[in-house]
Chain A
């Protein structure tokens, strides 16, 4: 690991100001992704700003009947919150399908959204990878691509975003609240947070350097049956091959998003509209522009079959 200086801050303003003073610094929250990548020298910040004690650890009602989840709320606490379990069950389900009890006790809401891909070539510093080393090429495209993207990818990068929680939040129309060094705040719809890889896969979100996530907001509950189905290589403690998150209403209408297929949770309003006609119709819209490799083409039928199973389960 490269050496770094360390600073603990106690307010969001102090965090962004610390960043302004030390360009190249990084925020660290639970540390379960950043520290992992620092050990491998994939991330090499010269300065760390500990944002784990900013007081952003509350889950509060909003004036429009929704909730605001503090950026530092731990994954365990979010999954265990009574209101989240009752009104936003999809988020609790997605969280407990991810990582392990130990990791969820440390992982934060903001850190989970900003965790980086698990592409094995991104992790192997001996391999070319445009995301890790821009311009070096992509070892995955002609390589071991079983777990890579089938939608939204580019000739430069076919990595997927690994978060389960983000898939559930996408279904529920979450937005991310931020503050930058100038004290400016903004709210970004989760669908707009992640950038398509294009020719610059190293740029993963629309956040400016030093822009701090302070909260995630959810609109008022939409009711319905919430199901998160994760398909993985072992029954627990493994990342998704694909995952399907749905909220289905009694009349068969609903919403769907996919995990493990692209650089962000994959959702389309036009696919939601097809849900009453069944899995085949909705999948056809979601995966209309899909482009699979020889190794991950299995994901195409897997998405449709998993969605069919989830819709049958929702009918009861």
Chain B
């Protein structure tokens, strides 16, 4: 857009106002969809998406590791893209479609990626696993969409599913138990087992 056009003012939406009289922390309304269910919440503005999922919606599959974007345990899929839910304010997700590990599949009806993690022993303690699985599902979509990674040799070509590509793309998910090689096996399996 042209920057000259910005001098025309348009009204802004005030989502939260200070509530000094009651000395209660400011809140704001947010409506989003989690795993196919619509939610309309009134939240303390400080609430992260991670805390909204765990503390307010009781979806405790998504884990809190570091709370600072450094481990990937809190990875969820928002509008088809994986993000760290710990570094995102819930009130910034108005209208979004959010998928957590519970939305991918539940016992008895597992997502192929969940099933592959079981088959390949892609975990030990399991704490990082929901984040690993959400990330892995999105990684395969990112490769399909042609998004390059640090190890993609030809920037102008289409990336393919290789072990080095998967390792690099999964680097935002730390596993303290070191289940990495089995995690890569599980993802390769879901991708068609050719890597």
Cα A50 to Cα B145 with chains together (Å): 28
B8 contacts which chain A residues (CB < 8 A)?
Answer: 11, 13
In the complex, chain A residues 96-110 whose Cβ is within 8 Å of any chain B Cβ: 96-97, 99-103, 105-106
**Nearest-Cβ distance from residue B164 to partner chain A, whole angstroms:** 10
User: Closest A-chain residue to B18, C-beta based?
Assistant: A5
- Candidates A17, A79, A93, A177; contact of B9 at CB < 8 Å: A17
Choice from B15, B68, B82, B152 contacting A7 with Cβ under 8 Å: B15
**What interface size band does chain B fall in?**
35 or more
Which has the most chain B C-beta neighbours within 10 Å: A9, A92, A236?
A236
* Contact assessment for B13 and A7 in the assembled complex, using a CB-CB cutoff below 8 Å: yes
A: contact size bracket: 35 or more
Write out, one digit per residue, whether chain B residues 84-99 have a CB within 8 A of any chain A CB (1) or not (0): 1001110110100000
- A contact patch SS: mixed
How close is A233's CB to chain B, nearest CB, in angstroms? 13
A141 at the A/B interface (Cβ < 8 Å)?
A: no
Establish whether residues B12 and A28, one from each chain, have CB atoms under 8 Å apart when the complex forms.
no
Considering the complex, which residues of chain A in the window 218-269 have a beta carbon less than 8 Å from any beta carbon of chain B? 235-237
- A23 close to B (CB within 8 Å): no
Interface assignment of B177: CB less than 8 Å from any CB of chain A: no
Known contacts A1-B46, A5-B16; is-contact A96 B84 (Cβ 8 Å) = no
- Main secondary structure on chain B at its contact with chain A? loop
- Residue ID in chain B nearest A90 by CB atoms: B155
In contact, B44 and A105 (Cβ under 8 angstroms): no
The contact string, 1 if C-beta is below 8 Å from chain B, for chain A 1-38, is 10111111111111111100000000010011001100
- Cα distance, A6 to B145, chains bound together (Å): 34
Decide if B25 is an interface residue (CB 8 Å cutoff).
yes
Contact check, A32 vs B69: say whether CB atoms are below 8 A apart. yes
Q: Does A52 have its Cβ within 8 Å of any Cβ on chain B?
A: yes
Within 8 Å by CB of A39, from B26, B67, B168, B171, lies B67
- Do B89 and A28 have beta carbons less than 8 Å apart? yes
Q: What's the minimum C-beta distance from B5 to chain A, rounded to whole angstroms?
A: 9
B150 close to A96 (CB less than 8 A): yes
**Which of B100-108, B115-123, B134-142 is the interface stretch?**
B134-142
Known pairs A10-B10, A36-B69; A31 contacts B3 (CB<8 A): no
Contact B10 A13 (CB under 8 A): yes
Q: B6: which A residues are within 8 A, CB to CB?
A: 11-13, 16, 179, 183, 185, 214
Please tell me which one of the listed residues A3, A11, A102 contacts residue B45 in the complex, with CB atoms under 8 A apart: A3
Chain B min CB distance to A225 (Å)? 12
Q: Using Cβ atoms and an 8 Å threshold, which residues of chain A touch B9? A: 11, 13-14, 17
A9 and B12 form a contact (CB under 8 A): yes
Tell me whether A92 and B45 are in contact in the complex, defined as CB-CB below 8 angstroms, given that A5-B17, A56-B1 are known contacts: no
Asked whether, in the complex, the Cβ of A86 is within 8 Å of the Cβ of B156, the reply is yes
Contact partner of B146 (CB less than 8 A), chosen from A36, A80, A100, A101, is A80
Give the B-binding residues of A (Cβ under 8 A).
Answer: 1, 3-18, 28, 31-32, 35-36, 39, 48, 50, 52, 55-56, 58, 70, 76, 79-80, 82, 85-86, 89, 92-93, 96-97, 99-103, 105-106, 177, 179, 183, 185, 214-215, 235-237
